[in-house]
Structure 1
Amino acid sequence: MITTELFNFEGQEFTAVTVKLPKTTLLTVSNEKGYIMCGALDVGLLNSRLADRKIIAGRAVGVKTIEELLHAPLESVTLEAEKLGITVGMIGKEALLKMV
């Protein structure tokens, strides 16, 4: 099952997507500039093989809900995210606000 939810915080609009799969759930929160995602995100791949796309993204591990993703510290971030001041350890919600 796939669910999509639009929501606002601090005057900014984001889209949350939850994809329920056998034995796991994929979670993303995004806007037009970038996104944060659960542990399924391969930041290494984004930084190496897809570097030319300049993807702004962060990864949090051990999260099972969108709410947890928004409040979890990021375990890794892309090089493009770092350029915006998004750092490892920053919580998801703070990272998203740097993507506006």
Structure 2
Amino acid sequence: MITVNPIEIEGMQFTAVSVELPKTTLLTVSNEVGYIMCAALDVDIFNEIPKLREREVIAGRAIGVRTIDQLLAAPLEKITDASKEYGWREGMTGREALLLIS
């Protein structure tokens, strides 16, 4: 099942997506600038492959989350290099990171 819901964080609008996959759930929260996600996806690829690095994807990843609320509260374990230009840093919560791109 795929669930897409608008969510508000301190008055700012984002889109939460939950995709149920076998034995895991893919979670993302995004706006038009960037997104945070669970560890079901790979952030490192956007830093390591030059062609992808050129896209300047703004993304962060949290580990061990099972719900959108947990994703917002969890510290980001990995971030893309491009997200640092928005003040993102590893260890900040997903909620904090999203507010920096709102």
Structure 1 length-normalised TM? 0.97
Structure 2 residue 86 is the aligned partner of structure 1 residue 84: yes
Looking at structure 1, the residues matched to 80 and 14 of structure 2 have their Cα atoms a distance apart, in angstroms, of 19
1:48 CA displacement: 2.1
1:94 CA displacement: 0.3
1:3-31 Cα shifts (integer Å, max 9, x gaps)? 00001121210000000011010000000
1:46 CA displacement: 0.8
User: 2:3 is matched by which residue type in structure 1?
Assistant: T
CA RMSD of aligned residues (A): 0.7
Which residue does 1:48 correspond to in 2? 48
Looking at structure 2, the residues matched to 8 and 99 of structure 1 have their Cα atoms a distance apart, in angstroms, of 13
Structure 2 length-normalised TM? 0.95
Which residue does 2:33 correspond to in 1? 33
Moved over 6 A (4+): none
Structure 2 residue 99 is the aligned partner of structure 1 residue 97: yes
Looking at structure 2, the residues matched to 9 and 59 of structure 1 have their Cα atoms a distance apart, in angstroms, of 18
Give the secondary-structure state (helix, strand or coil) at the position aligned to 2:92. coil
Aligned residues: 100
Gaps of 5+ in 1: none
Equivalences for residues 2-41 of structure 1 within 5 A: 2-41=2-41
Percent identity, please. Answer: 58
Which residue does 2:62 correspond to in 1? 60
